[in-house]
């Protein structure tokens, strides 16, 4: 019996240590062979990855996947979306079940260094914020002493909130519920004065109110939540591709290349545009020369992707804010393609 | 003097014991406690029913395409209508819906006759439902052969996925459960030990942890390139789990059959399988119909647990649709719809089992 236990334990350990290594086989080759990119998304997060009214996956995280598929396979539709819960997302990536993870995942030190994964950039800078009813007359989070706060249980939101109130010497009474639609119901019914969550989610929750304009999101952001696509560690070629597809979209916005004019801009006199849309950048990563052209033509530049999914003309109505380009007051910045 | 026989007309029963008044007195007002209960219940009904009816029917919106149609303040059933495709078919390609519809039709076609005693060829329909339908549904839904366009299982969802999970669970768990129950009572020590280990292992862990192991841990142990389908993993987990429960239900029935039955069978020269199949099992299974159906209903409802491993069954697809910012708060409507769908199926299963019990009733009930 003892021998059997040891043998089993040995098997388990070997399987554990081997599988991340084994998973390092070239992802690009697998994707090309399959003719399909497998991308992990959420099971339903408005603006990021959610089934739209025609039952297609849509959102900014979904478009990030589609752009990679367009760059690698030449067709933004060749993506297989695998909905993942928060708990299983990293395993799915580590085990090779998915090629990339684009699921509203915060880039943190622990995740980056200890899970065998790499963050390939930031497609949305988020942060925890507060929403209040306008009639309360609150203009800043510093005036919230003694407030009751609706929040979702079991998230880092709880910790950030406690830190923030302690730091400013204020008191609050938490009203913890299980799901996001319960938080907004509690907020609407007046069970709490403020609602806290990631800002992007506050905007989508606000649309659930009978009169969305009666509530406002306060300017203070109390945590940093950079969200972006994730790949397995140890496959640098694939890491580079995912990273540079996102950079190409950001660069395209900066240079005024859009999904509509990408084809004409190919013959642009501006050398950096020509390098982005033609050139040998693709060849260096082992993909076609038209990688960026396809990604931009089929999915759009970063700005288009943002506006289509979460921008001011969508129900989410999120302003660019910190997600504007670096030369327009934000912090989205991409290294040059050359 | 000889009087003629004259019938004395019986007095009518007191007015207070007949008709509506009698019924009221007997059923609602028979004792002070019952009077109190009646008043309390009437108060509850008056308090609860009109607002619910008002919300769900009278001031609800039924017609329209989007949020703008929901103006009257009641339930916004427009939302359910607009997203019904997602709730029924998941992400199945629009032009291939007919395949799912055929599966629904096949299920209905083979199961509905079972409710009517007079229907001819009921047994044949039943056999088709248990053996042919799963095969046809597999070919039809997955595609890839007979010129059907392949549809990957990650596009399956909604009610269709719920039915697939529940149906496979039910069809596979009963035979496996019967075999396990027989194995557990076997005189052969190896078989008995294996069956006991299997049953106790699966019964000792919650389904949620089985699903979680299947979706989170299993892939880590498999070599690269061996990713077998998530839906298949969940299905295997559900079948293993439910057959362990089924085995115990069936064992309860086996133990209720007197020893004399199997002894008589072997005295007649019947082999083990014949005595089980012809004498013991028919009696045992009939006894435990309520237990079996109980397990089936629990299984049907347990399929919602697959939402924790990212399979969008009917409940999970409702959940992913109610957060859509294009709609105001529609979570109540969504959950009511999901609950109603489950109720329809579970109630159907339970009615069928009652009919079956009545039909197979041979005086064993007390």
Q: Which CATH number fits domain B77-92+151-359: 3.70.10.10, 2.40.30.20, 2.120.10.90, 1.10.3720.10?
A: 1.10.3720.10
pLDDT in tens, A54-71: 889 999 999 999 999 999
A12: tokens are 């388990």
Give the per-residue pLDDT at B365. Answer: 57
Give the per-residue pLDDT at A300. Answer: 95
What confidence tier does A11 reach under pLDDT thresholds 50, 70, 90?
Answer: very low
**Helices assigned H by DSSP within chain A:** 2-22, 27-34, 60-73, 89-94, 109-114, 156-167, 180-188, 199-206, 236-254, 262-265, 271-277, 281-285, 291-298, 302-309
Backbone phi and psi for residue A235, each to the nearest 5 degrees, phi listed first: -120, 85
Neighboring chain B residues of A12 at a CB cutoff of 8 Å: 221
d(CA B133, CA B168): 10
Domain ranges of chain A: 9-125+226-328, 128-223
pLDDT score of A93 more than 80: yes
Q: Which residue has the tokens 């989070």?
A: A141
Give the per-residue pLDDT at B52. Answer: 92
How far, in Å, are B125, B294, B322, B366 from residue B281 at the CA level? Answer: 22, 19, 48, 20
Cα A180 to the center of its chain, rounded Å: 18
Interchain proximity A19–B222, CB inside 8 Å: yes
Chain B residues with CB within 8 Å of chain A CB: 82-83, 85-86, 89-91, 94, 152, 154, 212, 215-217, 219-225, 227, 230, 307-312, 316-317, 319-329, 331
- Fold agreement between A9-125+226-328 and A128-223: yes
- CA atoms within 13 Å, Cβ hemisphere of A136: 21
Interchain proximity A92–B222, CB inside 8 Å: no
Segment A91-116 mean pLDDT: 91
Q: Identify which of A171-180, A210-219, A239-248, B68-77 has the greatest average pLDDT.
A: A239-248
Neighboring chain A residues of B94 at a CB cutoff of 8 Å: 54-55
Task: Supply the CATH classification number for the domain A9-125+226-328.
Answer: 3.40.190.10
Q: For B152, which residue in chain A has the nearest alpha carbon?
A: A80
B115: Cβ contacts below 8 Å, ≥ 6 apart? B351, B352, B355
3-state secondary structure chain B: CCCCCCCCCCCCCCHHHCHHHHHHHHHCCCCHHHHHHHHHHHHHHHHHHHHHHHHHHHCCECCCCCHHHCCCCCCEHHHHHHCHHHHHHCCCCHHHHHHHHHHHHHHHHHHHHHHCCCCCCHHHHHHHHHHHHHHHHHHHHHCCCCCCCCCCHHHCCHHHHHHHHHHHHHHHHHHHHHHHHHHHCCCCHHHHHHHHHHHHHHHCCCHHHHHHHHHHHHHHHCCCCCCCCHHHHHHHHHHHHHHHHHHHHHHHHHHHCCHHHHHHHHHCCCCHHHHHHHHHHHHHHHHCHHHHHHHHHHHHHHHHHHHHHCCCEHHHHHHHHHCCCCCCCCHHHHHHHHHHHHHHHHHHHHHHHHHHHHHCCCCCCC
Which of B86, B230, B328 comes nearest A210 by C-beta?
Answer: B328
Interface residue of A17, A20, A83, A210 to substitute, partner B, most B CBs within 10 Å = A83
pTM of the entire predicted model: 0.85
Interchain proximity A97–B227, CB inside 8 Å: yes
In this structure, chain A runs to a length of 338
Give the per-residue pLDDT at B225. Answer: 61
d(CA B155, CA B93): 8
Instruction: Determine which helix (DSSP H) or strand (DSSP E) holds A173, and give its type and residue range.
Output: strand A172-177
Neighboring chain A residues of B224 at a CB cutoff of 8 Å: 19, 22-23, 25, 96
Give the per-residue pLDDT at B327. Answer: 86
A254: tokens are 């900066």
DSSP secondary structure letters along A174-193? EEEESSHHHHHHHHHTTS-S
Interchain proximity A51–B219, CB inside 8 Å: no
Give the per-residue pLDDT at A23. Answer: 45
Q: For B80, which residue in chain A has the nearest alpha carbon?
A: A53
Give the per-residue pLDDT at B226. Answer: 66
Q: Which residue has the higher pLDDT, B65 or A248?
A: A248
* Cα dihedral B273, B275, B280, B285 sign: positive
- The rounded mean pLDDT for chain A is 88
Interchain proximity B324–A180, CB inside 8 Å: no
| Interface predicted TM-score (ipTM) of this complex, two decimals | 0.81
Neighboring chain A residues of B329 at a CB cutoff of 8 Å: 181, 184-185, 188, 208-210
Q: Which CATH number fits domain A128-223: 3.30.365.10, 3.40.190.10, 3.90.105.10, 3.40.50.720?
A: 3.40.190.10
pLDDT in tens, B137-179: 888 888 878 878 888 888 889 999 999 999 999 889 999 999 9
Reduced to 3 states (helix: H, G, I; strand: E, B; else coil), residue A141 is: helix
Interchain proximity B223–A19, CB inside 8 Å: yes
- Of A291, A266, A267, A271, the residue nearest A281 (C-alpha): A291
Give the per-residue pLDDT at B2. Answer: 65
d(CA B330, CA B79): 7
Interchain proximity A55–B215, CB inside 8 Å: no
Contact, B328 vs B76, CB < 8 A? yes
Contact, A239 vs A118, CB < 8 A? yes
Contact, B145 vs B139, CB < 8 A? yes
Contact, A16 vs B220, CB < 8 A? yes
pLDDT score of A20 more than 70: no
pLDDT score of A3 more than 60: no
A112: tokens are 């980056």
pLDDT in tens, A160-172: 999 999 999 999 9
Which of B83, B216, B331 comes nearest A88 by C-beta?
Answer: B216
Give the per-residue pLDDT at B19. Answer: 79
Give the per-residue pLDDT at B224. Answer: 63
d(CA A111, CA A92): 14
CB pairs under 8 A between A and B: 123
Low-confidence residues of chain B: pLDDT under 70: 1-2, 224-227, 363-366
Reduced to 3 states (helix: H, G, I; strand: E, B; else coil), residue A233 is: coil
Number of H helices, E strands in chain A: 14, 14
Give the per-residue pLDDT at B143. Answer: 83
Contact, B160 vs B140, CB < 8 A? no
């Amino acid at each position: 019996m003892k021998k059997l236990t040891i043998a089993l334990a040995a098997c388990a350990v070997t399987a554990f240590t081997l599988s991340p290594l084994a998973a390092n086989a070239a992802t690009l080759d697998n994707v090309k062979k399959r003719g399909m990119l497998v991308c992990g998304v959420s099971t339903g997060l408005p603006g990021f990855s959610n089934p739209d009214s025609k039952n297609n996956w849509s959102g900014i995280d979904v478009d990030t996947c589609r752009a990679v598929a367009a760059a690698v396979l030449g067709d933004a539709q060749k993506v297989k979306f695998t909905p993942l819960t928060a708990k299983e997302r990293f395993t799915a990536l580590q085990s090779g079940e998915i090629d990339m993870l684009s699921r509203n995942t915060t880039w943190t030190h622990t995740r980056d260094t200890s899970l065998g994964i790499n963050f390939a950039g930031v497609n949305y800078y988020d942060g925890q914020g507060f929403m209040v009813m306008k009639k309360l007359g609150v203009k800043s989070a510093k005036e919230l002493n003694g407030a009751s706060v609706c929040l979702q249980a079991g998230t880092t939101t709880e910790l950030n909130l406690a830190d923030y109130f302690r730091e400013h010497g204020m008191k609050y009474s938490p009203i913890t519920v299980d799901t996001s639609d319960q938080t907004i119901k509690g907020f609407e019914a007046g069970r709490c004065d403020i609602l806290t969550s990631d800002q992007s989610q506050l905007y989508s929750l606000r649309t659930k109110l009978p009169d969305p304009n009666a509530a406002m999101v306060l300017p203070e952001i109390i945590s940093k939540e950079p969200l972006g696509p994730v790949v397995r560690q140890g496959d640098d070629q694939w890491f580079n591709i995912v990273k540079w597809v996102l950079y190409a979209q950001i660069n395209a916005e900066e240079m005024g290349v859009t999904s509509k004019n990408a084809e004409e801009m190919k013959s642009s006199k501006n050398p950096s545009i020509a390098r982005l849309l033609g050139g040998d950048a693709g060849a260096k990563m082992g993909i076609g020369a038209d990688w960026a052209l396809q990604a931009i033509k089929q999915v759009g530049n970063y700005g288009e992707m943002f506006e289509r999914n979460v921008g001011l003309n969508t129900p989410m109505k999120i302003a660019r804010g910190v997600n504007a380009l670096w030369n327009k007051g934000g912090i989205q910045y991409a290294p040059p393609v050359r | 003097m000889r009087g003629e026989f004259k019938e004395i007309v019986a007095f009518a029963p007191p007015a207070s014991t007949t008709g509506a008044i009698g019924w009221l007195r007997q059923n609602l007002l028979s004792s002070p406690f019952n009077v109190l209960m009646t008043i309390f219940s009437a108060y509850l009904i008056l308090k609860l029913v009109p607002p619910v009816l008002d919300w769900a029917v009278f001031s609800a919106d039924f017609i329209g395409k989007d949020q703008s149609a929901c103006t009257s303040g009641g339930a916004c059933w427009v939302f359910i209508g607009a997203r019904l495709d997602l709730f029924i078919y998941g992400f199945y390609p629009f032009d291939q819906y007919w395949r799912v519809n055929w599966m629904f039709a096949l299920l209905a076609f083979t199961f509905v006759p079972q409710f009517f005693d007079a229907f001819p060829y009921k047994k044949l329909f039943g056999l088709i439902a248990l053996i042919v339908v799963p095969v046809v549904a597999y070919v039809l839904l997955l595609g890839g052969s007979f010129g059907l366009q392949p549809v990957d299982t990650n596009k399956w969802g909604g009610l269709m996925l719920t039915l697939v999970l529940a149906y496979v669970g039910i069809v596979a768990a009963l035979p496996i459960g019967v075999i396990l129950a027989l194995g557990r009572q076997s005189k052969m020590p190896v078989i008995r030990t294996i069956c006991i280990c299997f049953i106790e292992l699966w019964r000792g862990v919650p389904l949620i942890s089985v699903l979680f192991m299947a979706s989170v841990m299993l892939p880590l142990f498999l070599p690269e390139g061996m990713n077998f389908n998530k839906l298949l993993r969940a299905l295997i987990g559900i079948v293993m789990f439910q057959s362990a429960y089924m085995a115990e239900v069936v064992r309860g029935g086996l133990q209720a059959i007197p020893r004399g039955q199997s002894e008589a069978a072997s005295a007649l020269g019947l082999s083990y399988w014949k005595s089980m199949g012809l004498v013991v099992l028919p009696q045992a299974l009939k006894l435990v119909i309520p237990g079996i159906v109980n397990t089936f209903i629990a299984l049907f409802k347990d399929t919602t647990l697959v939402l924790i491993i990212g399979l969008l069954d009917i409940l999970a697809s409702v959940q992913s649709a109610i957060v859509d910012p294009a709609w105001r708060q529609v979570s109540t409507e969504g959950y009511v719809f999901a609950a109603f769908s489950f109720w329809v199926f579970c109630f159907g299963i339970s009615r069928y089992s009652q009919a079956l019990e009545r039909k197979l009733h041979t005086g064993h009930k007390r």
